[in-house]
Amino acid sequence: MDLELKDKRILVTGGSRGIGRGIVTTLASQGASVITCYAGSHDAAESLRAELAGYGDRHLVVQADVADRAAVARLVDVCAERFGGLDALVHNAGVISHIPFADLPEDEWERVLTTNLTSAYLLMRAALPLLGAGSSVVHVGSKVAMVGVPLRAHYTASKAGLIGLTRSMAKELGARGIRVNVVAPGPIETEAELPAEVLERYRRMIPLGRLGRADEIAGAVAFLASDLSSFVNGETLNVDGGI
């Protein structure tokens, strides 16, 4: 199937591992030109570079901390220099921790909120001059944002914030022809390091009887980044097997 992504210029954050890697390789395999970033795992970045080389020489993998204003500005400058503009911005990078609220230190609250939510503000503000009519912004949120889950108050707050940001930006940027949406994954196989009983509980809760795969999140992102979704705006698309 032609997803109409050929020659689209796309920035994906956090593309070196997990879901982001699935997004980057799916978009590149569909003909898009991709710039992606990672925080610090150089080996994973190197292996992604090698994989992307199989999809042509227009892709780029750079180190950039999305929580750092100056690093985000440099990342967007790279997109401007290399691509001259962006057709889609996919903000996937995110961090999580599992801590009882009573023990949640302020610096951990700050780290998760800054990496998951403030980063979206930094990225969108920096990238706005590169986004023209017909372009698309996709935030990778989480199904738990609207459900809640113990030990993740900071994480769910950050992901719920992404939905509010998305709703408002969809309304503000719609007049410029820029769409803004959220993809909200349920439990994905990249969480496979979770304890066996947690994984089993997820499998029982998910009608499809299994965890999702990174490429299944990538499919939803590819749809929202493409012109196939040209009238979808301000939406949160849950990709969770019906949990």
191 binds ligand NDP (CB under 6 A): yes
Which one of 25-33, 80-88, 170-178, 187-195 is the stretch in contact with ligand NDP (CB under 6 A)? 187-195
Cα–Cα distance between 168 and 196 in angstroms, integer? 39
Backbone conformation region of residue 48, classed left if phi is above 0, alpha if psi is from -120 to 50, else beta = alpha
Exactly one of 159, 202, 226, 229 is catalytic; name it. 159
The closest of 171, 164, 173 to 141, measured between CA atoms, is 164
115 is a site residue for ligand NDP (CB under 6 A): yes
Report in angstroms how near the CB of residue 193 gets to ligand NDP at its nearest: 10
142 catalytic, yes or no? yes
Span of 9-17, 26-34, 102-110, 230-238 interacting with ligand NDP by CB under 6 A: 9-17
Which member of 135, 190, 229, 233 binds ligand NDP (CB under 6 A)? 190
The nearest distance, CB 169 to ligand NDP, in angstroms, is 17
Residue 202 falls in the annotated catalytic set: no
133, 176 contact by CB (below 8 A): yes
Q: Which stretch binds ligand NDP (CB under 6 A): 40-48, 98-106, 126-134, 224-232?
A: 40-48
Catalytic residue among 38, 55, 155, 202: 155
CB of 115 to ligand NDP, least distance (A): 5
By the rule CB under 6 A, 136 interacts with ligand NDP:
no
Q: Which residues are catalytic?
A: 142, 155, 159
